[in-house]
Chain A
Amino acid sequence: MAPKAGGGRADAGPAPGGRRTLSLGAAVALLVAGLVLLVVLSTSIGPEPLPWEATLAIVLHQLSGGRLAPTPCPGVAANQCTIWVEIVWDARLPDLILAVVVGAALGLSGAGLQGVFRNPLADPYLLGLSAGAALGASAVYTFGLDPAGRAFVLPAFAFVGGLVPGSIIYLAARSGRSSPQTLLLTGVALNAIAAAILATFLLYNPVANLSVNFWLLGGLEYASWSNEGLVIPLVLVIGLVLVLRAQEINLLQLGPDVAQSLGSDPRRLTRQVVLLTTVVTAAAVAFAGIIGFVGLVSPHVVRRLVGVDYRRVIALSALVGGGFLVIAWDIAQVVIPSVVIPVGIPTAFFGAIFFLYLLYRRAGRTPRGGPV
């Protein structure tokens, strides 16, 4: 039988390597369905728990303009039902959709950065991109730069702030200092510098202090449909561009010299990917603060599912990142009864545990071993 030309091993099944992989279509369908279900069910979680049948009916009711589920909350008083609809549709769903988009942005960023730096521990948070973006965005709050509160100002400042660590990391990698250790330590230093400046900002304007602090830890509460109108198209477009560049990222895994000998330009590719990930990370940070480890964890989960082809890894990391952040949102609702904690807290907690696992699992095996 003639083997398939191109296209990868879409039908790989159980490989002799012992690892089962899913086809891209199946994986996307599975993840999208799971994500939608997760988001809808999550609207029942919060300081005011709602029955999940009701929230499901409310979402269907609102989406279909009342044609489906004409009575979304049976057995409940009409005014109570109105409140439920407001909680689900106007309060929780925007937050959750922002969680999906921000998670997707961070998942994309992590996959792109891990690809171009050939470093399984790369992550926008660990490398200091998020801190730089947060610094840029907090300048807007601290100095009251945008009294009109326009949606694009915050992400624009965040982007400028993220460019500084982005450029430093790009230059470090270009000069050949791109070992996992060096990159991570560079990130540590950049994070420390950003934290120092940020602390100064906060003391400069103590009035802004409280809300900035909450936002920095990953607050999705600033979500509004107008913010999402900006960030959703941005994440989709940049995700698409990254997926289109993914074949070159694949080549780069053979080393920059081999990639160049095959007709790719590794430096240009790395520049572009660092720039694009800085843009989406900045957008994520502008609306949801610093949320760490989503970019680290998602690509690893995806590689387990579908192998190492970056076309898949990047596309699916967005979906897995979105799901990860929704689950973190759910946890944030229920950790302290009647208090919602910032979503960056559970992601940091579980993400850092996963980070330690990666670190020590990597240390414990031969460099040639199986999947990372």
Chain B
Amino acid sequence: MNDGALSFDRVTVRYGDRVALRDVSMRAPPGEVVALAGPNGSGKSTLLRASVGLEPHEDGAIDLGGERLQGLSLRARARRVAWMPQEEPPGDNLLVPDYVRYGRYPHLAAFVPPTPRDGVAVENALRLSGADDLRDRYLWELSGGERQRVRFARVLAQEAPIVLLDEPTAHLDIGHQLDLLERVRSIAHEHRTAVVVALHDLNLAARFADRIVVLHRGRVAADGVPRAILSPRLLSDVWGIASELRYDAQSRLPYLIPRIADVPPTAPSPGGPVRPRVHVLAGGGSGVELIRRLVDSDYSVSAGALPLFDSDCALTEELRIPTAVEVPFAPISAETRSRVRAFLEESEAVVVGAFPVGPTNLANLEELRGFARPGTVLLLAQAGPGPWDFTGGRATEIRSELLRRGATEIRTVDQVLAELASRLPRG
């Protein structure tokens, strides 16, 4: 039965004494992009090479479209599986369509000139790979990104139901990476091609692959949809890297952010200069730039109270800034208020952003009014321009009172930093 799938059943490949693949079972069905991820030397390339018969395997079985690899002639294999290696000799002097036409070799009958069918396949391949505009060029003239598209076209011209790509994005900039992988994905889905693509970037794999197979020291360490297998645990087990799992707000796809060392950035550097404490009252995104700039300028920042999932809150979580967090759309609880009070008492300066004040977050301003430590620098963002007070005038009232008590009104983040620099001596 030719179902067009690539399947490995308990395959072992050895290079001399070294085991390159051990007991690997996996399957790439038609219409799916399977990403092969893993650190360098984990066996990704070996798996792909074994699939085209370039590495003999000792145990297990490799099937191409339901038939044993070893039972197929080289030409029959080439009609079932196309392979794009990481590196290829430059092939300097070829015109692009001549190079792409080499992909038709397994379909050519001996001593018979190519048929119109071969020409159509080459045309389709040039179009699908985005190499259409390169048809008048020589290989040696191409940039890295163009070259990769042309190599991809050569693989597509083979019209094999299984396509294997070994690190196709390795030398590409981010734009070319995304373009190439987007094409790979749509070809797999629209042409019912089984695609296996080796990628060392797990996040890129999660974004483009329907399934990810993670190899570690020649074994399958994980196999599943990106959402199911991406975890800090996986990254630390396989790559030895600490990371955090996040979700992209737009695509809802998971991604991992590597951490170089697990130290909270706000911890005082021992022996370094004392970092002035600044508390930020913001919300709804008004504090994003402010908080970043303060952290960059080496202030010890705290924030809150902020509702969970607020964009300011996401930032403070990312930067590990101590934050008083409140449940969204609920009034600030007594417990949170006491955290805010504690932050205010420890701070040498308080900066209030331009955010809308309603019944749920009015307590922030109330805490600020009740807090009357002399010597604390108090900076208030200019109100407005649109309506901001949704408390029937109580917020405006507090604001005026704070200004009367010596708070400074500021307009820009630069002003905040200048004000703080002049009024909070370091030492």
Contacts and interface: CB of A to CB of B under 8 A. Distances in A.
Interface in A235-269: 244, 247, 250-251, 253-255, 257-258, 260-265
A257 B74 contact: no
Contacts of B88: 254-255, 258
B137 A17 contact: yes
A261 B105 CA distance: 10
Interface size class of B (residues with CB under 8 A): 35 or more
Interface stretch (B111-119, B256-264, B273-281): B111-119
A17 B74 contact: no
Contacts of A370: 92-93, 140
B89 interface: yes
Interface stretch (A8-16, A47-55, A106-114, A331-339): A8-16
B106 interface: yes
Contacts of A255: 85, 88-89
A75 B81 CA distance: 75
A25 interface: no
A367 to B, nearest CB: 7
B216 interface: no
A5 B118 CA distance: 7
Tell me what chain A mostly uses at the interface: helix, strand, loop, or mixed: loop
A248 to B, nearest CB: 8
A262 B93 contact: no
A27 B143 CA distance: 32
A5 B116 CA distance: 6
Contacts of A6: 101, 104, 113-115, 118-119
A254 B102 contact: yes
A118 interface: yes
Interface string B78-91: 11011101001111
B317 interface: no
Interface stretch (B48-56, B177-185, B187-195): B48-56
A115 interface: no
Nearest to A371: B93
Interface size class of A (residues with CB under 8 A): 35 or more
Contacts of B141: 16-17
B138 interface: yes
A12 B136 CA distance: 10
B83 A261 contact: yes
A265 B95 CA distance: 24
B95 A12 contact: yes
Contacts of A202: none
A150 interface: no
Contacts of A265: 74
A253 to B, nearest CB: 6
A309 interface: yes
Contact of A257 (B85, B108, B119, B123): B85
Given A263-B74, A263-B105, A264-B74, A3 B123 contact: yes
A7 B105 contact: no
A364 interface: no
A353 B119 CA distance: 43
A160 interface: no
A9 B102 contact: no
B98 interface: yes
Contact of B102 (A2, A251, A260): A251
A262 B137 contact: no
B103 interface: yes
Interface in A7-46: 7-9, 12, 15-17
B4 interface: no
A132 B332 CA distance: 96
Given A5-B114, A5-B116, A15-B138, A262 B105 contact: yes
B304 interface: no
A307 interface: yes
Contact of B137 (A16, A244, A264, A369): A16
Nearest to B122: A5
B74 A260 contact: yes
A371 B52 CA distance: 31
Interface string B115-152: 11011101100000000000111101100000000000
B111 A244 contact: yes
A6 B135 CA distance: 14
Contacts of A173: none
A16 B74 contact: no
A252 B91 CA distance: 10
A368 interface: yes
A4 interface: yes
B167 to A, nearest CB: 15
A264 B97 contact: no
Contacts of A15: 95, 136, 138
B75 interface: yes
Nearest to A253: B91
A352 interface: no
A309 B99 CA distance: 10
Contact of A308 (B75, B76, B94): B94
Contacts of A251: 102, 105
Contacts of B118: 5-6
B78 A308 contact: no
> Which 4 A/B pairs are nearest by Cβ-Cβ distance?
A5-B119, A6-B114, A263-B78, A263-B75
Interface of B: 49, 52-54, 73-79, 81-83, 85, 88-95, 97-98, 101-106, 108, 111, 113-116, 118-120, 122-123, 135-138, 140-141, 158
Interface of A: 2-9, 12, 15-17, 118, 244, 247, 250-251, 253-255, 257-258, 260-265, 303, 307-309, 367-372
Given A17-B93, A253-B91, A307-B93, 6 more contacts: A5-B115, A6-B113, A16-B138, A244-B111, A257-B85, A261-B52
